Homo-oligomer: A and B are copies of this chain.
Amino acid sequence: MSAAATRLDTPVFQRLALIGIGLIGSSIARVARQRGLAGEIVVSTRSEQTLVRAEALELGDAYHLSAANAVRDADAVIVSVPVGASGAVAEQIAPALKPGAIVSDAGSVKAQVIAGMAPHMPQGVHFVPAHPVAGTEFSGPDAGFADLFDGRWCILTPPAGTDERAIERLADFWRGAGSDIEMMDPEHHDLVLAITSHLPHLIAYSIVGTAADLETVTNSEVIKFSAGGFRDFTRLAASDPTMWRDVCLNNREAILEMLGRFAEDISAMQRLVRWGDGDALFDLFTHTRNVRKRIIEAGQEADMPDFGRPHGTAPEE
Q: How far is the CA of A238 from the CA of B307 in the complex (A)?
A: 12
Interface residues in A188-240 by Cβ distance below 8 A to B read 191-193, 195-214, 216-217, 219, 221-239
- Contact for A229 among B200, B241, B266, B298, CB less than 8 A: B200
Contact B259 A225 (CB under 8 A): no
- Contact for A306 among B1, B235, B248, B267, CB less than 8 A: B235
Contact A316 B145 (CB under 8 A): yes
- How many residues in A have their beta carbons less than 8 Å from beta carbons of B? 128
Cβ of A30 under 8 Å from chain B: yes
**Using an 8 Å CB-CB cutoff, how does the interface string of A19-36 with B read, 1 for contact, 0 for none?**
000000000001001100
Cβ of A270 under 8 Å from chain B: yes
Contact B230 A306 (CB under 8 A): no
Interface residues in A97-134 by Cβ distance below 8 A to B read 108, 133-134
Shortest distance from the beta carbon of A109 to any chain B beta carbon, whole Å: 12
Also in contact, A182 and B273, with CB within 8 A (given A308-B309, A313-B5) = no
Contact B265 A307 (CB under 8 A): no
Also in contact, A229 and B225, with CB within 8 A (given A202-B269, A209-B284, A313-B150) = no
Contacts of A291 in B (CB 8 A): 208, 211-212, 219, 222-223, 234, 237-238
**Using an 8 Å CB-CB cutoff, how does the interface string of A237-272 with B read, 1 for contact, 0 for none?**
111011011101100100110111111011101101
- Contact for A192 among B4, B155, B217, CB less than 8 A: B217
Also in contact, A228 and B133, with CB within 8 A (given A260-B270, A263-B266, A310-B308) = yes
24 contacts between A and B (CB under 8 A): A1-B313, A4-B314, A108-B228, A133-B228, A135-B228, A178-B313, A192-B222, A196-B228, A197-B229, A199-B207, A203-B203, A203-B233, A206-B262, A209-B287, A224-B298, A224-B300, A227-B300, A237-B289, A238-B291, A239-B285, A246-B278, A259-B266, A263-B266, A301-B309
A interface with B by C-beta (< 8 Å): 1-2, 4-5, 30, 33-34, 108, 133-138, 143, 145-153, 155, 178, 182, 191-193, 195-214, 216-217, 219, 221-239, 241-242, 244-246, 248-249, 252, 255-256, 258-263, 265-267, 269-270, 272-274, 276, 278, 281-282, 284-289, 291-295, 298, 300-302, 305-317
